């Protein structure tokens, strides 16, 4: 089954999806935030539509590793999302991943691709979700033997 990553911001949620072998992450689209309940409903729709078995939510830690205001807001959304999955019978695993540098990495990638500022703004959250998901996928692979 596929994995889905969420880059949860105050105005949008970027989505990225893995292939069925969970090797490669691909940037998806961006959802406009409409409130935790509506957002959870929309994520659940994507989970069902894309046959997702795992949702990885980027957790925006502070640079020193502490959980600040933004991380607490994301955790509040995760709680609503988990409750929605439970009450609607959606069988999906939910986990978090440190996303401290995902947006900066996505921004650099889009700049290197010579994308205009307006286009970067449209794609940055989905690209950040791709970085979150690829980081999580890579961390799940066993170390090669030497």
**CB-CB contact of 19 with 2 (8 Å):** yes
Q: What is the mean pLDDT of residues 16-38?
A: 95
Q: How many CA atoms lie within 13 A of 57 on its CB side?
A: 25
Residue 135: other Cβ atoms inside 10 A: 20
pLDDT of residue 109: 63
Residue-wise pLDDT tens digits, 46-75: 999 999 999 999 998 877 878 888 999 999
pLDDT of residue 117: 64
Domains and CATH numbers, the chain: 2-140 (3.30.420.140)
pLDDT of residue 113: 62
Residue-wise pLDDT tens digits, 94-138: 999 988 666 666 566 656 666 566 665 656 688 889 989 999 998
């Amino acid at each position: 089954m596929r994995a889905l990553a969420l880059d949860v911001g105050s105005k949008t949620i970027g989505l990225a999806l893995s292939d069925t072998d969970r090797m490669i992450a691909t940037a998806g689209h961006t959802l406009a935030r409409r409130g935790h309940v509506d957002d959870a409903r929309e994520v659940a729709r994507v989970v069902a539509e894309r046959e997702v078995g795992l949702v990885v939510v980027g957790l925006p830690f502070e640079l020193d590793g502490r959980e600040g205001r933004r991380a607490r807001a994301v955790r509040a959304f995760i709680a609503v999302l988990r409750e929605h999955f439970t009450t609607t019978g959606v069988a999906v695993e939910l986990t978090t991943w440190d996303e401290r540098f995902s947006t900066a990495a996505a921004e650099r990638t889009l700049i290197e691709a010579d994308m205009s500022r307006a286009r970067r703004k449209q794609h940055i959250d989905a690209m950040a979700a791709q970085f979150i998901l690829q980081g999580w996928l890579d961390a799940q692979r066993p170390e090669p033997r030497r």
